[in-house]
Amino acid sequence: MRKKKILRFAILSGLIFYISVSCAKKDEDDKASSTTSYTAASTSCKSSATTPTVSESDVMSPPSGVQSQLVGHYAPTKYIKVADYNIHVFGTDNVSNWMMVHTHEMARNLVGSLLSNVDQQKFNDHHIFVITDNDSTIGTTQGQRNTGSAKYTVMNQVLVCATAVDSIRPNYAAVYRAWDTPIHEFGHSIHEALDILDTFIAIEAANNTNYDENLKNEYFAWAIENWFDANLDGSCGSSTTQGFESGYLATKFSTSNIWKATCLGKP
């Protein structure tokens, strides 16, 4: 009996030690990332949008049993799969097949731009819901129809390549947006899936002279918008992000021929 107690104690002590070392290593890695001096990366942008790897004829009805997120909240009628990373793109009524195809391309290219295969695999079974103003809101803020998390992303087609009012700010004037909103929300999904938001916030706080604590959760998503030329002004990567931002993003994403979206052909 005494030997069994000693053995249990040794196993428990070893487990506690392992957990302590693992947590300490993560803390050290986060601290090292946030205190590293990042300089502007050398980047290049694609000169034009690439031809989609899927077509509107590939859009289908959602297969039974595929949807595991927001079941009962959204009832999609359209579906297309990003086979490279097992990402599921769902569309509700009134979402165009064009939007389905180009959302597929956005997800495929942003995840494909990640340098680490381990990071790419974190999007396995990720759900993207493309909705319209006719669909239910998401979250606790009235009118919210766009959000990003580790497991799913929600984006409103109404705000893509169009002059429109965001339902979360109904009293604001209509403004033109290209791919700003979808890429922004998927940016939130990226920092959640990779668990890097705290690190990026620390980098912003240490380097951004206009840093605003109230906006800390948005800096990464804004940087992703700029990195991927979400507003389609022809600039991307280091030319549209602050030097320390592009330096950090270059540790996560490919810096060559950075992908860009398109509004061509939108119905």
- Asked whether residue 262 is domain-assigned, the answer is no
Model pLDDT, residue 35: 60
Model pLDDT, residue 37: 85
Q: How many domains does the chain have?
A: 1
DSSP string, 162-211: EEE--TTSTTSPPEEESSHHHHHHHHHHHHHHHT-HHHHHHHHHHH-TT-
- Asked whether residue 150 is domain-assigned, the answer is yes
Model pLDDT, residue 10: 47
Whole-prediction pTM: 0.88
Model pLDDT, residue 1: 52
Residue 214, phi then psi, degrees to nearest 5: -70, -20
- Asked whether residue 39 is domain-assigned, the answer is no
- Asked whether residue 62 is domain-assigned, the answer is yes
Domain enclosing residue 244, as ranges: 56-249
- Asked whether residue 46 is domain-assigned, the answer is no
- Asked whether residue 4 is domain-assigned, the answer is no
Query: pLDDT (tens digit, 0 to 9) for every residue of the chain, 267 residues total?
Result: 554 444 454 444 454 444 444 544 455 455 445 567 899 999 999 988 889 999 999 999 999 999 999 999 999 999 999 999 999 999 999 999 999 999 999 999 999 999 999 999 999 999 999 999 999 999 999 999 999 999 999 999 999 999 999 999 999 999 999 999 999 999 999 999 999 999 999 999 999 999 999 999 999 999 999 999 999 999 999 999 999 999 999 999 999 999 999 999 999
